[in-house]
Structure 1
Amino acid sequence: MDPALLRERELFKKRALSTPAVEKRQTTSDSGSHKKKKPKLDKESSSGSKHSTESSNGNINIKASSGYKFGCLAKIVNYMKTRHQNGDTHFLTLEEILDETKLLDISMKQKQWLMTEALVNNPKIEVRDGTYGFKPKYNLKDKKALVRLLDKHDQLGLGGVLLDDVEEGLPNAAKAIKALGDQIIFVTRPDKKKVLFYNDKNCQFSVDEEFQKLWRSVPVDSIDEEKIEEYLKKQGISSMQETGPKKVMPVQKRKKQAGQRKRQFKTHNNHLEGVLEDYSDGVPGKK
């Protein structure tokens, strides 16, 4: 073999043996740096678990907030009220309610809250064997039930029933009220809310003018409303103030007296009475 080639071969081996030692030290230092960076990532992931309501980019997770939770509850109650007013009074499971209200993306924690706390303790929701239905103030099936309710209130002296409560508990209330016609009397309160009364036609009779005059001759302007209410209770008659809006008594301002009284001062030196003269009205004239 050519001796020049042999020398180049030996020089190549020497260079090859000298370079790998330096490369190994660099790789070990790089791998160590990668190992040190891993705990930082773990810390960041653990801190993210503490703030579960915030996403990775710092934005608030709306579905995990309490406002979204109570918003879902309000949506469910309004839906149950609407379907009850439309005549769908059969009870539903929670899964059926979530399906019909399109709230299928809520978490298991929120479902548990609805089942154990929110829907159970809501005054407008009735729970029956794991199913849920709407609970109105007056559960009325048809127009006959409405007439019986108004007649009962009239007989017991309880007054009328709010139209809002009737519409809440009677399916297709507008149609039923229209069909009853003159059996119902509407009275509008000062706050624009309507009250329904039973129109008892047996009480419609003519009164002699003599009794009308006697009725109108009794003065009640000087009698306080509390005294009138107290008198009615003694006679076994209940007033209807509970059905109407509460009146706020205005603050009475003190009226200025026409002639201001003179200030009365405490007198001293009573033993000099008859000697001293009063100059409060000016210098007295010469006697």
Structure 2
Amino acid sequence: MDPALLKQREAFRKHAMAVPTIEKKPKTESSAPSFKERDDYKKRMQRPPTAPRLDSNSYKTMSGSSQYRFGVLAKIVKHMKTRHQDGEDYPLTLEEILDETNQLDVGNSVKAWLSGEALMNNPKIEVTEDKQRFVFKPVYKIKDGKTLLRLLKQHDLKGLGGVLLDDVQESLPHCEKVLKNRASEIVYIIRPVDKKKILFYNDRTANFSVDEEFQKLWRSVAVDSMDDGKINEYLEKQGIRSMQDNGPKKTVMKRKKPSGNKKRQFKRPRDNEHLADVLETYEDNTLTQKGVAVTNNSNNK
């Protein structure tokens, strides 16, 4: 063989060996997945699906949230009560109420529920005649100290007792100022059941002085654990007759009940009594009149 060619072949091999090459091996396709792939698949299936993130203001547009609806209603009633206590008693529309309570972002369904059902049926909200405006509805219609004293006088005269301080504070604008100015004409009594204050009219004409001996005797008698029957029994043992209702008694007329044993007697008709001796019997369309038989012919009318 030619030595020149051998030198060229040897030089080409050295040059080829000096150049680096990357050999890509073909992947062997397998029909069954590996154990690692199976484990990863099981973990993905057992992992709970991630819920979409909710915006903090998205609950305001949810029409089916009853809690949100009643929250809006409670805020409106509280605001209307505060307005009334501050002396602002003019009615407002729904849009004005939502504007004053910073709730203009409520949905249309909530607005329809407020105007058509919630505010209409709320006992603390009064609707105007046009059914478009709303105002707070207090327990008592009192505006100042004169109307408050008139209310207390009516309760005193009719025997209705006192008025709760909570109801007065809810109904009377600027209540604290009015009660301070009318302190001499009002009596406060704390109810022992729930420790609530009751307002009574201070009737000065009923004020009279009682001797101290009578006061001591009155306070020495303990009747807290005794009812009316025991008190009457104690008074009778001491020779004291208890007060009875001596007013005129109404007499109730008792109706006589008809006895069921008596049978109803058949009363003969009183009409045509003068013909009793003429008409005797009726038998087979034949009228017998004083022994003479008269046959009625059906063809002769």
Shorter-chain TM-score range? 0.5 to 0.7
My pick for the range that moved more, 71-80 or 149-158, is: 149-158
Change (3 A) 1:217 1:94: same
How far apart, CA to CA, are the structure 1 residues paired with 2:102 and 2:207? 54
Q: Are 2:227 and 1:224 equivalent residues in the alignment?
A: yes
> CA deviation digits over 1:215-245, x for unaligned, max 9?
56877456326988xx999699xxxxxxxxx
Query: Runs ≥4 in structure 1, deviation > 3 angstroms?
Result: 55-61, 207-223, 225-228, 231-236
Change (3 A) 1:156 1:81: same
Normalised TM-score (structure 2): 0.53
Q: Which has the larger radius of gyration?
A: 2
How far apart, CA to CA, are the structure 1 residues paired with 2:113 and 2:207? 55
Q: CA deviation at 1:62?
A: 1.9
Q: Are 2:143 and 1:141 equivalent residues in the alignment?
A: yes
Higher helix fraction: Structure 1 or Structure 2?
1
1:269 matched residue in structure 2:
none
Match of 2:162 among 148, 160, 163: 160
How far apart, CA to CA, are the structure 2 residues paired with 1:235 and 1:120? 51
Query: Which of the pair has the greater relative contact order for Cα pairs under 8 Å at 6+ separation?
Result: 1
Tell me which amino acid in the other structure corresponds to 2:87: G
Tell me which amino acid in the other structure corresponds to 2:206: C
Tell me which amino acid in the other structure corresponds to 2:121: N
Percent identity of the aligned residues? Answer: 58
My pick for the range that moved more, 219-228 or 96-105, is: 219-228
> CA deviation digits over 1:193-218, x for unaligned, max 9?
21111111010112356865785687
1:198 matched residue in structure 2:
201
Secondary structure of residue in 1 paired with 2:142: coil
Q: CA deviation at 1:169?
A: 0.4
Normalised TM-score (structure 1): 0.55
Q: Are 2:179 and 1:183 equivalent residues in the alignment?
A: no
Q: CA deviation at 1:57?
A: 3.4
Tell me which amino acid in the other structure corresponds to 1:95: E
How far apart, CA to CA, are the structure 1 residues paired with 2:243 and 2:111? 52
Change (3 A) 1:126 1:222: closer
How far apart, CA to CA, are the structure 1 residues paired with 2:92 and 2:98? 10
1:115 matched residue in structure 2:
115
Output the aligned Cα RMSD.
Answer: 3.2
1:80 matched residue in structure 2:
80
How far apart, CA to CA, are the structure 2 residues paired with 1:104 and 1:233? 66
1:273 matched residue in structure 2:
none
Change (3 A) 1:143 1:235: farther
Q: CA deviation at 1:181?
A: 2.0
Change (3 A) 1:152 1:232: farther
- Structure 1: 5+ residue runs without aligned partners? 1-54, 237-287
2:277 matched residue in structure 1:
none
- Structure 2: 5+ residue runs without aligned partners? 1-50, 232-241, 248-301
Change (3 A) 1:59 1:219: closer
Change (3 A) 1:234 1:138: farther
Q: CA deviation at 1:154?
A: 1.2
Q: How does 1:31-180 map to 2 (within 5 A)?
A: 57=53, 61-63=58-60, 64=62, 65-128=65-128, 129=130, 130-180=132-182
